[in-house]
Amino acid sequence: MNSPIVRVAVASRSFSRHPQLRKALSDRYPNVTFNDAGASLAGDQLIEFLRGHDRAITALEKLDDALFSAVPELRVIGKYGVGLDMIDLEAMRRHGVKLGWTGGVNRRAVSELVVAFAIALLRHVPEGDALVRGGGWQQLKGRQLSGRTVGIIGLGHVGKDLVQLLKPFGCRILANDILQFPNFCRLHGVTQVALDELLRESDIVTLHVPLDGSTRGLLTNARLDLMRRDAVLINAARGGLVDEVALREKLRDGHLAAAAFDVFADEPPSDRELLTLPNMLSTPHIGGSSEEAILAMGLAAIDGLDKAGDPIEVATGRFQPAASA
């Protein structure tokens, strides 16, 4: 008896444009529909694209109850990328759709960007670049990353990797997480503290938590007030973790020395005043966009089509795929 034909849809534009990923997926699944039009798929357009497919690879596309109801033939999602905040996991479970996802595959790309942000802001690199481009020439006195106190909010894949990268700089590292990691912290000299203490004591605060109901708006105006006036804030995790209006005011009045954001509540961001502040460094969500990370995330999404499980168990790390899957 012949096996049923498995049809795969790739909603992600960047995956669809990647020749190595296209070949790797097509070698495993001959019947693939790629997003060759390069459309940003959402709502009814996304539903129409996914119809008639058993499995799909998605990235930033929103997957909700309405979509799963409209495409009952869809049984497996391979997630391209590390964030899950665009997927309604409870709705996915109710509809019996399985999730294939591997967390942390882009961790080195993100943690390297954070180090780059920290050094750039401490040494006034963006300000110096603007100065020279404008015809000026003045030495700007900055600070070294070496020996600074770095506060890491979220000690998951990226947070732990960042600890490793900071070792040569001799930083004092504070961390805050809802979970305790005594063995890791003891081995790497990390001190887990309450969030308020971390904010008060850190020269550099960097966010590495997912966006969910417990973290949305985590750094409120009041919490930003706890930070030192010479502190630097970095967000290469998810937009929506920080009150961006309050951040703008802190940067403008000198309550914070500088900030670097790779992610924003709305992308692209519309607050031109925030973006044009001289002590604000912004990038267009490039944290995971190294060649190496893109390939790793894509291959993980392909594997996820075969090694999928209950979405809640996958998201919380409780799902372990069979070795033969």
pLDDT tens readout for residues 14-32 = 999 999 999 999 999 999 9
CA neighbours within 13 Å on the CB side: how many for 223?
19
Let me know: does 224 contact 245? Beta carbons within 8 Å.
no
Q: Which residue among the candidates 148, 157, 238, 244 is catalytic per the annotation?
A: 238
Which pLDDT tens digit goes with each residue over 69-106?
999 999 999 999 888 889 999 999 999 999 999 988 99
Contact call for residues 11 and 49 (beta carbons, < 8 A): yes
Where along the chain do its domains lie? 8-105+290-315, 107-282
Q: How far apart are CA 303 and CA 295, in angstroms?
A: 12
- Residue 3: pLDDT band (50, 70, 90) is low
| pLDDT tens per residue, range 159-172 | 999 999 999 999 99
Find the catalytic residue in 90, 267, 291, 292: 267
267 is catalytic: yes
Question: Does 238 qualify as catalytic in the annotation?
Answer: yes
CA–CA separation, 63 and 77 (whole Å): 10
Q: Residue 272 corresponds to which tokens in the numbers above?
A: 């031109």
- Sheet (strand 258-261) strand order: 190-192, 172-176, 149-153, 204-207, 232-235, 258-261, 280-282
- Helix segments in the chain, DSSP class H: 13-17, 19-28, 43-50, 65-70, 89-94, 107-122, 125-133, 157-166, 182-188, 195-201, 221-226, 244-252, 272-275, 291-306, 311-315
Which CATH code, of 3.40.50.720, 1.10.260.40, 3.20.20.70, 1.10.3720.10, is assigned to 8-105+290-315? Answer: 3.40.50.720
- Which amino acid would we find at residue 158? V
**Does 172 participate in catalysis according to the annotation?**
no
Q: Which CATH number applies to 107-282: 3.40.190.10, 3.40.50.2020, 3.40.50.720, 3.40.800.20?
A: 3.40.50.720
With CA atoms as reference, report the closest residue to 212 among 156, 289, 269: 156
Total count of residues recorded for the chain: 325
Catalytic residue among 93, 112, 285, 313: 285
Q: Does 8-105+290-315 match 107-282 in CATH topology?
A: yes
- Mean pLDDT across 175-187: 97
